[in-house]
């Protein structure tokens, strides 16, 4: 329930840097919660938070790159299947709506996708990485290169 109010609270305090910082700290704290339901709920909010960040770049400019993307890519390897699936869905929305910069895709997303497709990765992770890679051409090209090399 708390994760659902992150976006609304962030919108309400967008002009107050100290309050924005506090909300981001709460979000980061929730991202470390042991309960899979909390992490899943947080992932469900990521696309809306990213849109908000793009609406207020002067106040929330670095939040996508510094907070949201690292959290999403971390959850791509979460032990809980529902958390993984929700993070994949969130990442696809971020990629499809171009809410993540090309450099962040290259620097933060692609390395994780490539790790998930390495020969010794779990088969579920490989399948999920292929699904995520369709969201951005640069991710798909790196994945194709990996498949070609390791065939």
Q: What are the pLDDT digits (tens) for 107-130?
A: 888 788 777 766 665 556 545 555
d(CA 83, CA 72): 10
d(CA 140, CA 25): 33
Instruction: Dig out the tokens for 18 from the structure.
Output: 């100290």
Q: With bands split at pLDDT 50, 70 and 90, how would you rate the model's confidence at 92?
A: confident
Q: With bands split at pLDDT 50, 70 and 90, how would you rate the model's confidence at 149?
A: very low
- Do residues 135 and 91 lie in contact, with contact meaning Cβ atoms separated by under 8 Å? yes
Instruction: Dig out the tokens for 9 from the structure.
Output: 């609270």
Q: Give pLDDT, residue 130.
A: 52
CA 108 from centroid of its chain's CA atoms:
10
Output the furthest CA–CA distance in the chain (Å, rounded): 52
């Amino acid at each position: 329930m708390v994760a659902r109010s992150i976006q609304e609270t962030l919108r309400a305090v967008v002009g107050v840097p100290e309050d924005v910082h506090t909300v981001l700290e709460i979000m980061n704290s929730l991202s470390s919660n042991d309960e899979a339901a909390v992490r899943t709920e947080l992932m469900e909010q990521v696309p809306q938070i990213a849109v908000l960040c793009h609406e207020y770049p002067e106040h929330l400019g670095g939040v996508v790159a510094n907070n949201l993307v690292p959290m999403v890519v971390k959850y791509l390897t979460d032990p809980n299947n529902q958390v993984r699936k929700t993070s994949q869905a969130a990442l696809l929305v971020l990629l499809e709506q171009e809410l993540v910069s090309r450099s962040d895709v290259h620097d933060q997303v692609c390395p994780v996708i490539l790790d998930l497709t390495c020969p010794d990765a779990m088969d579920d992770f490989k399948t999920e990485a292929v699904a995520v890679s369709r969201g951005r051409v640069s991710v798909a090209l790196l994945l194709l290169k990996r498949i070609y090399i390791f065939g």
